[in-house]
Amino acid sequence: MAAIILADTCISLALAQPAMKAQPFRKTTSRLWSLSKFCSSLMNVRGQRSYGTEVEKIGERPVLITGCDSGFGFQLAKHLHGKGFIVYAGCLQKAQGKGGSKDLDDMKSDRMRTIQLDVCSNEDVARALDHVTASLKNPEAGLWGVVNNAGISTFGEVEFTSMDTYKKLAEVNLWGTVRTTKAFLPLIRRAKGRVVNITSMLGRMASPARSPYCITKFAVEAFSDCLRYEMQPHEVKVCIVEPGNFIAGTSLYSSEGIKATAEKMWNEMPETVRQDYGRKYFDEQVAKMETYCQSGSTDLSPVIESITHALTSPSPYTRYHPMDYYWWLRMQVMTHLPGAISDRLYIY
């Protein structure tokens, strides 16, 4: 078994190396370009995907990002703006004058355009589409990219989780992604542009006490794969970014949020479940979650660079895995080895 894991690790590491490193891009001279093409063809023989260089004249290409009030979305908006993109930064709390939109507006740049965008609202999405279409310099040239980043999370075992919670997460993470993508696809098709969906390592491997989140992220993976196949003839590239643990660097969880969720969950749980599991067990699970919410990397750059690669490389990867080696190896084992082995190694 050790030999299988070792072989799997070596093969997967070789394949994943470029995706983990999603490098910044530099303009190349035509000679360097030819050289890199030659090298990449050699690398392809070894089964690796080539690093791309920046698409021609990335310049002021327009992109829409959802969920820019905090976390990856907020940083990405600033990063892409710095690279010269015209950024439409969708913010959930813009209308209330809260969240990241204020900071982004304070940049006072014509290329940083914040818009009110709740991905669960048909009206917000329709208004955002009208706004983007009307403000594009050349609507016929379309919109270069949509980054479906908005998301929420929670925790709790299946028996602890209400149907409302399952639906709430799906409404944002899954249907929000589908709604936004469908609305903007005609513009993206015109640009022969990019759709970048932020899922998670939990969109590839499941975890106990995370079912409401996992099912939405697995679903977005499936949606993205179907869309990628459909968009291939239109020369639209669809990429998936599967971040690992960056909890400490984002607002996905907070200690107060976990406490509030736990209290609500306990109060709404069926009496039989409360009695069978008991408060002691429940509190232990909540405490584990509170520890988890302080874990992870505060450096979001691997995720930001992966998304940037997906938006700028002539040959972006299908999946990006910005995560540390522990989670990367666990994900490879969980997704490539038989469940009987991976469950025993990581779950039981």
Active centre residues (catalytic): 213
Contact between 243 and ligand NAP (CB under 6 A)?
Answer: yes
Least distance between ligand NAP and beta carbon 296 (Å) = 5
149/313 with CB nearer ligand NAP? 149
Q: Is 62 in the site for ligand NAP (CB under 6 A)?
A: no
For 49, phi then psi, to 5°, come to -95, 145
User: x-or-dash pattern for ligand NAP, window 15-54, by CB under 6 A?
Assistant: ----------------------------------------
Closest approach of Cβ 96 to ligand NAP, in Å? 9
Among 53, 165, 245, 313, contact with ligand NAP (rule: CB under 6 A):
245
277-316 core/surface letters (b: 16 or more CB in 10 A; e: else): beeeebeebbeebbebbeebbeebebbbbbbbbbbbbeeb
Cβ closer to ligand NAP: 292 or 346? 292
Rule CB under 6 A: is residue 150 a binding residue for ligand NAP? yes
Contacts of 131 (CB under 8 A, 6+ apart): 88, 115
Residue 125 touches ligand NAP, criterion: CB under 6 A: no
Q: Which of 12, 161, 165, 250 binds ligand NAP (CB under 6 A)?
A: 250
Q: Is 221 in the site for ligand NAP (CB under 6 A)?
A: no
Number of residues near ligand NAP (by CB under 6 A):
31
Pick the binder of ligand NAP from 132, 152, 310, 333 (CB under 6 A).
Answer: 152
- Chain CA centroid to CA 10, Å: 26
Instruction: Using alpha carbons, list the distances in angstroms from residue 38 to 14, 45, 197.
Output: 19, 11, 31
Among 20, 43, 107, 120, binds ligand NAP (CB under 6 A): 120
Instruction: Determine if 104 is a binding residue for ligand NAP (CB under 6 A).
Output: no
Query: Are residues 66 and 100 in contact, defined by beta-carbon separation less than 8 angstroms?
Result: no
- Tell me the C-alpha distance between 82 and 85, whole Å: 7
Using CB under 6 A as the binding rule, the residues of this chain from 253 to 272 that contact ligand NAP are none
Is 322 among the residues that bind ligand NAP (CB under 6 A)? no
Residues 179-198 that bind ligand NAP (CB under 6 A): 198
What residue type is assigned to position 300 of the chain? L
Does residue 329 touch ligand NAP according to CB under 6 A?
no
What minimum distance in Å lies between the beta carbon of 98 and ligand NAP? 7
92 lines the binding site for ligand NAP (CB under 6 A): yes
Contacts (CB under 6 A) with ligand NAP, residues 294-313: 296
Shortest Cβ 72–ligand NAP spacing (Å): 4
CA-CA-CA-CA torsion sign (302, 308, 310, 313): negative
The footprint of ligand NAP (CB under 6 A) covers: 66-67, 69-73, 92-93, 99, 117-120, 149-153, 172, 176, 198, 200, 243, 245-247, 250-252, 296
